């Protein structure tokens, strides 16, 4: 760090910036990643790396398995005009303090989540010779990561790409439990006092929310968060019954398992049932694992003060941690508060710093 506390200068990384802009200019909402995946594969081919696009659409570039660098190609929907603008210097942002520099900023859907991390990891992978995978479908069902863990052996270490700020390293994510509540009741006059299926759905969810009521004195990361995603209900087509369905999600902290949360939620059922369809376990990586240590050193050498983070959402790292017994962490440029936001943008100087950090991490691993 310099005397005034600002991060040291890092050279403009033209190659990383050009790749990122190309990737952001190609729309790739979940399920429509092919063109963007082809551009990413072409980048590896231009560096004489073995690369192919697998059966589900992942970009696979295996090499030195001392580390697997991986991030996702898909984005959420949204049309943000792609452009580069000059930004004003800031300090103390959620994106990583000194990382919120002035200078050029790339605007566009995916610039932060997660094409900034994707481009940084790809560039660092070709320069250091480590393995790489650009996976699809992370924003929905993580089909790319699921296919990856089923298709290949564990590497020695994993760096997963998501925005953390160039000086931040994410070690923990909550898990997610998803299910569909279904109830049916006989139709009858609305003057009758008995619950119909819609009331049963509302009553069940009210009990679940009360069970997992937010405690403002505890970190959100350490609590279960229960959210209804959609609700449908009404009289059946034949007029003989009332039906109700509710899509529900529960975020699971590392202190619990998805099975434990499911048992608690099922215990509040008095009518209807829940079809539990997806469970991704939480993960909390040790702060002294080799990947976290490598990041701390690399960030300091690049002029930063490392921050260790825990995220309240869920990422592909949860799946990797559940399948592979190896050290890992999640890292990437960008302010995660801009994930999915209409003003999503990335300071390009932060991309430059992230690539420098990742190259050092790969060398240390």
Instruction: Give the residue numbers marked as catalytic.
Output: 74, 138
Pairing of β 64-72 and β 130-135: parallel
* Residue 8 DSSP code: P
Q: Are 208 and 268 in contact (CB under 8 A)?
A: yes
How far is the C-alpha of 48 from the C-alpha of 26, rounded, in Å?
23
Interaxial angle between packed helices 115-128 and 14-25, expressed in degrees from 0 to 180 and rounded to the nearest 10: 140
Is residue 184 helix, strand or coil?
strand
Q: How far apart are CA 180 and CA 192, in angstroms?
A: 27
Cα 142–Cα 22–Cα 319 angle in degrees, nearest 5: 15
**Per-residue buried b or exposed e for 174-202, using 16+ beta carbons within 10 Å of the residue's own CB:** bbbbbbebebbbebeeeeeeebbbbbbbb
Distance CA 176, CA 196 (A): 29
- Do 198 and 233 form a contact (C-beta atoms < 8 A)? yes
Reported for 24-28, long-range contacts at CB under 8 A and 24+ positions apart, including other chains, are 24/82, 24/106, 24/108, 24/109, 24/110, 24/111, 24/115, 25/82, 25/108, 27/75, 27/79, 27/109, 28/73, 28/74, 28/75, 28/110
Residue 89 CB neighbour total at 10 angstroms: 11
Q: Which distant-in-sequence residues (6+ apart) come within 8 Å of 125 by Cβ?
A: 61, 63, 69, 131, 132, 362
């Amino acid at each position: 760090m310099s005397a005034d506390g600002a991060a040291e200068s890092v050279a403009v990384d033209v190659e990383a910036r050009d790749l990122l802009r190309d990737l952001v200019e190609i729309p790739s909402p979940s399920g429509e990643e092919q063109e963007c995946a082809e551009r990413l594969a072409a980048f590896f081919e231009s560096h004489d790396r073995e690369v192919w696009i697998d059966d589900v659409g992942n970009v696979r570039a295996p090499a030195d398995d001392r580390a697997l660098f991986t991030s996702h190609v898909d984005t959420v929907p949204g049309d943000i005009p792609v452009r580069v603008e000059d930004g004003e210097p800031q300090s103390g942002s959620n994106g990583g303090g000194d990382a919120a520099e002035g200078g050029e900023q790339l605007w566009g859907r995916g610039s932060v989540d997660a094409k900034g991390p994707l481009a940084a990891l790809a560039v660092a992978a070709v320069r250091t010779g480590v393995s790489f995978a650009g996976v699809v479908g992370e924003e929905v069902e993580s089909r790319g990561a699921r296919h990856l863990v089923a298709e290949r052996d564990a590497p020695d270490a994993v760096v997963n790409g998501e925005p953390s700020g160039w000086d931040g390293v994410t070690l923990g994510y909550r898990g997610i439990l998803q299910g569909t509540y279904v109830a049916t009741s006989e139709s009858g006059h609305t003057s009758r006092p008995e619950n119909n299926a819609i009331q049963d759905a509302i009553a069940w969810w009210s009990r679940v929310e009360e069970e997992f009521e937010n405690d403002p004195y505890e970190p959100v990361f350490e609590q279960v968060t229960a959210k209804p995603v959609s609700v449908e209900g009404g009289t059946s087509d034949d007029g003989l019954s009332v039906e109700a369905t509710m899509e529900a999600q529960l975020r699971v902290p590392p202190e619990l398992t998805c099975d434990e949360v499911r048992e608690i939620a099922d215990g509040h059922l008095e009518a209807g049932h829940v079809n539990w369809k997806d469970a991704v376990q939480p993960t909390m990586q040790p702060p002294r694992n080799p990947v976290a240590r490598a990041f701390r050193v690399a960030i300091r050498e690049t002029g930063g003060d490392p921050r260790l983070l825990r995220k309240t959402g869920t990422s592909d790292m949860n799946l990797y941690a559940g399948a592979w017994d190896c050290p890992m962490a999640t890292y990437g440029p960008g302010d995660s508060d801009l994930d999915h936001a209409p003003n999503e943008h990335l300071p390009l100087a932060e991309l430059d710093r992230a690539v420098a950090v990742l190259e050092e991490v790969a060398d240390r691993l």
